[in-house]
Structure 1
Amino acid sequence: MREFSSPALGGGPAGGLADSVFDRAEREPRLTQSSRWADGAWVPVSAARFRDEVLALAKGLLTRGVRYGDRVAVMSATRWEWTLFDYALWSIGAIPVPVYPTAAPDQVRWILAETAAVACVVEDEDQAMTVGAVCDALPELTGIWQLDRDCVAQLSADGAGVPDALVHRQRLAVTPDSMATIVYTSGTTGRPKGCLLTHGNLASVADALLAGWAEVFHDTRGEQPATLLFLPLAHVYGRITQVAAVRGGIRIGHHAKLSSESLLPALAAFEPTFLHAVPYVFEKIHRRAREAAEEAGKLELFVQAERVAVEWAAAWERRAHRLGPGPSPALRLRHAAYERMVYQRVRAVLGGRVRAVMSGGAMLGRELGLFFAGAGMTVYEGYGLTESAAAVTANPPRRPKFGTVGRPVPGSTVAIAEDGEVWVKGPGVFSGYLNHPRCSDEALCRGWLATGDLGVLDEDGYLTLTGRKKEVIVTSSGKNMAPAVLEERVRAHPLIAQCLIVGENRPYLAALITLDAVALAHWLRARGRPRLDVWEALVDPELHQEVQRAVGAANTSVSRAESIRAFRLLPREFSVEDGLLTPSLKIRRAAVVERYAEDIEELYAG
Structure 2
Amino acid sequence: MTLQEKIDRNITDFRSFLRELADKYGDTPAVREYHGKELVDRNYLELKRDADAVSRFLLAQGAEERMHIAAVGATSYQYIAAYFGTVDTANVIVPTEAQLSTETQCELFHMADVTGLFFDKHFEDAIPEIHEKCPDIKLFICLTDGVESHDLGDIHIHSINEIEKEYAEGEEIIVPLEHDTFSTILFTSGTTSARPKAVMLCHGGIIDNIFSGELEQRDSTNKVKLIALPIHHALSFNTDICMGFRNGDTVFVNDSMLHIAKNFKVAKPYTAILVPMIFENFYHKIMKAHEVHPEVDLKAMARDVFGGEVEVFYCGGAHLRAEIADAFAEWGMPVFEGYGMTECSPRVAANMPWRYRRDSIGRVVDNAHVRIKDTELQVKSPSVMLGYYKDPEATKAAFTEDGWLKSGDIGYIDEDGFIFLQGRIKNLIILSNGENVSPEEIETKLYDCTFIKECLVYEENGQITAEVFPDAEYAEMHKVTDVEKEISAAIKAVNKSMPTTKSVRSVKFRYEPFERTATNKIKRTGRGKKAA
What is the TM-score with the length of structure 1 in the denominator?
A: 0.78
- Once residues 440 and 470 of structure 1 are traced to their aligned partners in structure 2, the CA distance between those partners, rounded to angstroms, is 17
Partner Cα distance (2:354, 2:96) in 1: 37
The superposition leaves residues 302-358 of structure 1 with CA deviations (integer Å, 9 ceiling, x where unpaired) of: xxxxxxxxxxxxxxxxxxxxxxxxxxxxxxxxxxxxxx8222222222221111122
- 1:150 corresponding residue in structure 2: 147
- The answer (yes or no) to whether the contact 2:95–2:185 under 8 Å persists in 1 is yes
Deviation per CA, 1:421-442: give whole Å up to 9, x if none. 0011111111111011111111
Residue of structure 1 equivalent to 2:241: 242
Identify which of 485, 505, 508 aligns with 1:545: 485
Matched-pair contact (CA < 8 Å) for 1:189–1:588: yes
C-alpha displacement of 1:197 = 0.5
Q: What is the correspondence of 1:585-596 to structure 2 with a 5 Å cutoff?
A: 585-591=520-526, 593=527
Alignment of 1:186 onto 2:189: yes
Question: How far is 1:281 from its partner?
Answer: 2.2
Deviations 1:483-531 (A, max 9, x none): 1132133234344321011215x332112222345435545xx46xxxx
Q: Which runs of 5+ in 1 are unaligned?
A: 1-9, 299-339, 528-540, 575-579
- Partner residue, 2:377: 422
Match of 2:340 in 1: 384
Which residue pairs with 2:104 in the alignment? 107
Q: Greater shift after overlay, 242-251 or 183-192?
A: 242-251
Per-residue CA deviations over 1:226-284 (Å, capped at 9, x if unaligned) read 211111111111121222222332111212444xx532211111111111222222222
| Contact 1:79–1:255 (Cα < 8 Å) also in 2 | no
TM-score by length of 2: 0.88
Greater RCO, CA 8 A, separation 6+? 1
User: Are residues 1:573 and 2:528 paired?
Assistant: no
- The change in CA–CA distance for 1:130 and 1:494 in structure 2 (over 3 A counts) is farther
Partner of 1:23: 20
With over 3 angstroms needed to count, the CA separation of the structure-2 counterparts of 1:493 and 1:145, relative to structure 1, is: farther
Taking a change above 3 Å as real, the CA distance of residues 257 and 156 of structure 1, as seen in their structure-2 partners, is closer
Q: Does 1:500 align with 2:456?
A: yes
Task: Tell me whether 1:57 sits opposite 2:13 in the alignment.
Answer: no
C-alpha deviation, 1:404, in angstroms: 0.2
Q: SS where residue 482 of structure 2 aligns?
A: helix
Cα distance in 1, alignment partners of residues 242 and 427 from structure 2: 32
Cα distance between partner residues in 2 of 1:17 and 1:147? 20
The one-letter code sitting in structure 2 at the alignment partner of 1:549 is A
Aligned partner of 1:519 among 474, 495, 498: 474
Q: Which among 77, 84, 97 is matched to residue 74 of structure 2?
A: 77
Equivalent residue, structure 1, for 2:118: 121
Partners of 1:429 and 1:11 in 2: CA distance = 22
Q: Following the alignment from structure 1 to structure 2, what is the Cα–Cα distance between the partners of residues 400 and 163?
A: 46
> 2: CA distance between counterparts of 1:154 and 1:543?
54
Contact 2:142 2:159 in 1 (8 A): no
Asked if the contact 1:72/1:120 (under 8 Å) is kept, the reply is yes
1:67 and 1:85 mapped to 2: Cα distance?
Answer: 20
Check conservation: 1:425, 1:448, Cα contact below 8 A. yes
Task: Tell me what 1:316 maps to.
Answer: none
SS in 1 for 2:95: strand
| Residues in 2 aligned to 1:391 and 1:66: alpha-carbon distance in whole angstroms | 34
Consecutive aligned runs of 4 or more in structure 1 exceeding 6 Å deviation: none
Partner of 1:431 in structure 2? 386
CA distance in 2, matches of 1:424, 1:289: 39
**Equivalent of residue 98 in structure 1, options 95, 99, 118:** 95
RMSD: 2.8
1:469 pairs with 2:425: yes
1:404 matches 2:360? yes
Question: Do the aligned partners of residues 151 and 383 (structure 1) sit closer, same or farther apart at CA in structure 2, a change above 3 Å counting?
Answer: farther
5 Å-filtered alignment, 1:171-570, equals: 173-190=176-193, 191-209=195-213, 212-215=214-217, 222=220, 224-240=222-238, 241-258=240-257, 261-296=258-293, 341-418=297-374, 420-445=375-400, 446-504=402-460, 506-516=461-471, 518-519=473-474, 521-523=476-478, 526=479, 542-570=482-510
Amino acid at match of 1:555: N
Question: Match of 2:321, as an amino acid?
Answer: G
Gaps in structure 2 of 5+ consecutive residues: 1-6, 150-157
Residue-by-residue CA offset, 1:39-71 (whole Å, 9 max, x unaligned): 434332222222222233333344455677211
Q: How many residues align?
A: 514
Cα-to-partner distance string for 1:136-156 (whole Å, 9 max, x where unaligned): 442321133344573698244
Alpha-carbon offset, residue 416 of structure 1: 0.6
Distance 2:177 2:327 in 1: 45
Contact 1:29/1:48 (<8 A) preserved: yes
